[in-house]
Amino acid sequence: MTGLANVAGFEDKAGVIVHAPNYLAGQVFAELAAWRATGKIDGFDLLTLDPHARALMDVCGACERIRTTPLATSYRSLLRIGIGVYLLVSPIYIVRDYDYWAVPIELLVAFFMLGVEMVAHDVEEPFGVEGDDLPLEKFCATIETSVRETLG
């Protein structure tokens, strides 16, 4: 399940809402308008809170750009070809200088060069549930705690 189906209190709206962050931002703005109408906040409070509510969509847009912008295919191809050529050619030059030490040196270099390729693949998908992905649940919990503390 994705979107609002995982947000407590919004499970029933999961199939209706297309863009969950946009819906939630709309709810925040509606709540601010209701607070203003009932006198819970005045115009100055609204001016203070409004930029923070707008920042929600700015952050959402930035995260969506990160999530949907893959590394260029040409970058990945060039990186793979470069690593392959280097690993094929470098033993020739290393053996001349280091004789039998060339084998562990080349293995160490290959380990790091292939590690660069693996990191490039992981950087392409920063959001998820793997061990090296960004801890979005932790970020959200921190934000929720801060908001609850701010609103009392």
Shared domain for 76 and 48, answered yes or no, is no
Shared domain for 135 and 148, answered yes or no, is yes
Shared domain for 152 and 97, answered yes or no, is yes
Give the global pTM.
Answer: 0.47
User: Could you count the other beta carbons within 10 Å of the beta carbon of residue 14?
Assistant: 15
Q: What SS3 state is found at 114?
A: helix
Domain count of the chain? Answer: 2
Shared domain for 94 and 19, answered yes or no, is no
Whole-Å CA distances, 141 to 76, 128, 135, 136, 145: 35, 16, 10, 8, 6
Residues 123-149 have pLDDT tens digits of 777 777 777 778 878 888 888 887 777
Nearest-angstrom CA–CA distance, 16 and 100: 66
Nearest-angstrom CA–CA distance, 17 and 40: 29
> Residues of 57-91 as b/e, b for ≥16 C-beta within 10 angstroms?
beebeeeeeeeeeeeeeeeeeebeeeeeeeeeebe
Shared domain for 63 and 89, answered yes or no, is no
Backbone phi and psi for residue 132, each to the nearest 5 degrees, phi listed first: -100, 10
Shared domain for 30 and 84, answered yes or no, is no
Residues 2-52 have pLDDT tens digits of 566 776 777 777 677 777 777 888 888 888 889 889 988 888 888 888 888
Which of 53-57, 58-62, 104-108 has the highest average model confidence (pLDDT)?
Answer: 104-108
Nearest-angstrom CA–CA distance, 17 and 10: 10
Shared domain for 23 and 51, answered yes or no, is yes
Shared domain for 64 and 105, answered yes or no, is no
